[in-house]
Protein backbone atom coordinates (compact mmCIF):
# COMPACT_ATOMS: atom_id res chain seq x y z
CA UNK A 1 0.00 0.00 0.00
CA UNK A 2 1.40 3.41 -0.95
CA UNK A 3 1.54 6.26 1.52
CA UNK A 4 0.17 9.77 1.21
CA UNK A 5 3.70 11.07 0.55
CA UNK A 6 4.42 8.47 -2.15
CA UNK A 7 1.13 9.29 -3.87
CA UNK A 8 1.91 13.01 -3.61
CA UNK A 9 5.30 12.53 -5.22
CA UNK A 10 3.84 10.35 -8.00
CA UNK A 11 0.96 12.73 -8.77
CA UNK A 12 3.26 15.76 -8.87
CA UNK A 13 5.52 13.83 -11.25
CA UNK A 14 2.56 12.96 -13.50
CA UNK A 15 1.48 16.60 -13.62
CA UNK A 16 5.02 17.73 -14.33
CA UNK A 17 5.35 15.19 -17.15
CA UNK A 18 1.99 16.25 -18.61
CA UNK A 19 2.66 20.00 -18.50
CA UNK A 20 6.23 19.81 -19.76
CA UNK A 21 5.09 17.92 -22.88
CA UNK A 22 2.64 20.63 -23.99
CA UNK A 23 3.98 22.11 -27.23
CA UNK A 24 5.31 25.67 -26.74
CA UNK A 25 4.01 26.77 -30.15
CA UNK A 26 0.52 25.57 -29.24
CA UNK A 27 0.73 27.58 -26.01
CA UNK A 28 1.81 30.69 -27.92
CA UNK A 29 -0.99 30.27 -30.48
CA UNK A 30 -3.52 29.78 -27.70
CA UNK A 31 -2.36 32.84 -25.78
CA UNK A 32 -2.40 34.90 -28.98
CA UNK A 33 -6.04 33.97 -29.65
CA UNK A 34 -7.00 34.77 -26.06
CA UNK A 35 -5.47 38.24 -26.28
CA UNK A 36 -7.13 38.96 -29.65
CA UNK A 37 -10.62 37.83 -28.63
CA UNK A 38 -13.29 40.32 -27.71
CA UNK A 39 -15.07 37.72 -25.57
CA UNK A 40 -13.85 34.30 -24.45
CA UNK A 41 -16.22 31.40 -23.84
CA UNK A 42 -15.33 28.13 -22.12
CA UNK A 43 -17.14 24.81 -22.35
CA UNK A 44 -16.54 21.43 -20.77
CA UNK A 45 -18.42 18.87 -18.72
CA UNK A 46 -17.85 17.28 -15.33
CA UNK A 47 -14.48 17.88 -13.70
CA UNK A 48 -13.18 19.55 -16.87
CA UNK A 49 -15.94 22.12 -16.47
CA UNK A 50 -14.84 22.75 -12.88
CA UNK A 51 -11.24 23.36 -13.99
CA UNK A 52 -12.46 25.73 -16.71
CA UNK A 53 -14.72 27.60 -14.26
CA UNK A 54 -11.63 28.31 -12.16
CA UNK A 55 -9.94 29.60 -15.31
CA UNK A 56 -12.84 31.92 -16.13
CA UNK A 57 -12.56 33.36 -12.62
CA UNK A 58 -8.79 33.88 -12.82
CA UNK A 59 -8.78 35.20 -16.40
CA UNK A 60 -11.51 37.67 -15.36
CA UNK A 61 -9.07 38.97 -12.74
CA UNK A 62 -6.75 39.73 -15.67
CA UNK A 63 -9.48 41.92 -17.16
CA UNK A 64 -10.43 39.44 -19.90
CA UNK A 65 -14.12 39.08 -20.81
CA UNK A 66 -14.70 35.41 -19.98
CA UNK A 67 -17.85 33.33 -19.70
CA UNK A 68 -18.88 29.75 -19.13
CA UNK A 69 -21.27 28.47 -21.78
CA UNK A 70 -24.66 28.13 -20.12
CA UNK A 71 -24.02 30.68 -17.36
CA UNK A 72 -26.80 33.18 -16.63
CA UNK A 73 -24.61 36.11 -17.71
CA UNK A 74 -23.49 34.50 -21.00
CA UNK A 75 -23.69 37.01 -23.89
CA UNK A 76 -23.98 36.02 -27.55
CA UNK A 77 -20.89 34.72 -29.35
CA UNK A 78 -19.67 36.25 -32.59
CA UNK A 79 -16.87 36.35 -35.13
CA UNK A 80 -14.51 38.35 -32.90
CA UNK A 81 -14.85 35.85 -30.07
CA UNK A 82 -13.14 32.65 -28.95
CA UNK A 83 -14.57 29.34 -27.75
CA UNK A 84 -12.24 27.24 -25.62
CA UNK A 85 -13.39 23.62 -25.56
CA UNK A 86 -12.01 21.32 -22.89
CA UNK A 87 -12.56 17.64 -23.62
CA UNK A 88 -9.97 14.93 -23.14
CA UNK A 89 -11.70 12.59 -25.57
CA UNK A 90 -12.89 15.34 -27.89
CA UNK A 91 -16.08 13.38 -28.37
CA UNK A 92 -18.27 14.60 -25.48
CA UNK A 93 -21.70 15.44 -26.91
CA UNK A 94 -22.35 18.79 -25.26
CA UNK A 95 -18.94 20.36 -26.06
CA UNK A 96 -19.15 18.98 -29.62
CA UNK A 97 -22.60 20.51 -30.12
CA UNK A 98 -21.47 23.86 -28.74
CA UNK A 99 -18.40 23.76 -31.01
CA UNK A 100 -20.66 23.27 -34.03
CA UNK A 101 -22.90 26.16 -32.96
CA UNK A 102 -19.98 28.55 -32.27
CA UNK A 103 -18.48 27.73 -35.65
CA UNK A 104 -21.73 28.85 -37.33
CA UNK A 105 -21.29 32.26 -35.70
CA UNK A 106 -17.70 32.57 -36.91
CA UNK A 107 -15.97 32.22 -33.53
CA UNK A 108 -12.44 30.84 -33.35
CA UNK A 109 -12.16 27.45 -31.65
CA UNK A 110 -9.38 26.28 -29.33
CA UNK A 111 -9.51 22.63 -28.29
CA UNK A 112 -7.75 21.48 -25.12
CA UNK A 113 -7.56 17.70 -25.43
CA UNK A 114 -5.64 14.47 -25.14
CA UNK A 115 -7.06 13.33 -28.50
CA UNK A 116 -5.85 15.53 -31.39
CA UNK A 117 -7.78 13.38 -33.89
CA UNK A 118 -11.19 13.84 -32.27
CA UNK A 119 -14.41 15.19 -33.75
CA UNK A 120 -13.90 18.49 -31.91
CA UNK A 121 -10.26 18.68 -33.02
CA UNK A 122 -11.40 18.43 -36.66
CA UNK A 123 -13.28 21.72 -36.18
CA UNK A 124 -10.69 23.54 -34.06
CA UNK A 125 -8.47 26.36 -35.23
CA UNK A 126 -5.93 25.53 -32.53
CA UNK A 127 -5.35 22.30 -30.62
CA UNK A 128 -3.43 22.16 -27.36
CA UNK A 129 -2.58 18.54 -26.65
CA UNK A 130 -2.17 17.10 -23.19
CA UNK A 131 -0.64 13.62 -23.25
CA UNK A 132 -2.92 11.91 -20.75
CA UNK A 133 -5.41 9.05 -20.46
CA UNK A 134 -8.75 9.59 -22.17
CA UNK A 135 -12.10 7.83 -22.43
CA UNK A 136 -11.30 6.98 -26.05
CA UNK A 137 -7.72 5.78 -25.61
CA UNK A 138 -5.62 4.58 -22.73
CA UNK A 139 -2.14 4.10 -24.16
CA UNK A 140 -0.90 6.62 -21.60
CA UNK A 141 -1.05 5.35 -18.03
CA UNK A 142 -1.69 7.17 -14.77
CA UNK A 143 -1.84 6.07 -11.15
CA UNK A 144 -4.98 8.24 -10.90
CA UNK A 145 -8.43 7.09 -11.96
CA UNK A 146 -9.93 7.83 -15.36
CA UNK A 147 -9.01 11.32 -16.69
CA UNK A 148 -7.94 12.91 -13.41
CA UNK A 149 -4.49 13.99 -14.60
CA UNK A 150 -6.03 15.80 -17.61
CA UNK A 151 -8.46 17.69 -15.36
CA UNK A 152 -5.72 18.63 -12.89
CA UNK A 153 -3.48 19.60 -15.78
CA UNK A 154 -6.06 22.03 -17.18
CA UNK A 155 -6.23 23.85 -13.87
CA UNK A 156 -2.48 24.13 -13.37
CA UNK A 157 -1.89 24.91 -17.09
CA UNK A 158 -4.18 27.92 -16.89
CA UNK A 159 -2.59 29.09 -13.63
CA UNK A 160 0.77 29.01 -15.43
CA UNK A 161 -0.71 30.98 -18.34
CA UNK A 162 -2.08 33.52 -15.87
CA UNK A 163 1.49 34.28 -14.79
CA UNK A 164 2.53 34.69 -18.44
CA UNK A 165 -0.44 36.96 -19.21
CA UNK A 166 0.38 39.04 -16.12
CA UNK A 167 3.92 39.58 -17.44
CA UNK A 168 2.70 40.44 -20.95
CA UNK A 169 0.05 42.84 -19.63
CA UNK A 170 2.31 44.38 -17.01
CA UNK A 171 -0.08 43.43 -14.19
CA UNK A 172 0.80 42.97 -10.54
CA UNK A 173 -0.90 40.89 -7.85
CA UNK A 174 -2.42 44.15 -6.61
CA UNK A 175 -3.92 44.81 -10.05
CA UNK A 176 -5.63 41.43 -9.97
CA UNK A 177 -6.94 42.06 -6.44
CA UNK A 178 -8.86 45.09 -7.70
CA UNK A 179 -10.96 42.73 -9.85
CA UNK A 180 -11.41 40.10 -7.14
CA UNK A 181 -14.83 39.54 -5.58
CA UNK A 182 -15.27 41.58 -2.40
CA UNK A 183 -18.54 40.14 -1.07
CA UNK A 184 -16.74 37.23 0.54
DSSP states of 32-57: HHHHH-SSEEEE--HHHHHHHHHHHH
Distance, CA of 182 to chain centre:
26
- Say whether 49 is catalytic: no
- Which residue in 66, 72, 146 sits closest to 110, CA to CA? 66
Q: Which of 28, 53, 91, 151 is catalytic?
A: 151
At 138, the pLDDT band (50, 70, 90 cuts) reads low
| Full-model pTM | 0.94
Q: What domains are defined for the chain?
A: 17-177 (3.40.50.10490)
When pLDDT is averaged across residues 21-27 and rounded to a whole number, the result is 97
CA 83 to chain CA mean position, Å? 10
Amino acid sequence: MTTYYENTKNIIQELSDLLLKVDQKDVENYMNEVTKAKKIFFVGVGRVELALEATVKRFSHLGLNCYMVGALDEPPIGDKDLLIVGSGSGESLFPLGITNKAQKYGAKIVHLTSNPNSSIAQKADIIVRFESPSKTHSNIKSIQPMTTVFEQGLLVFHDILTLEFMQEMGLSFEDLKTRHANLE
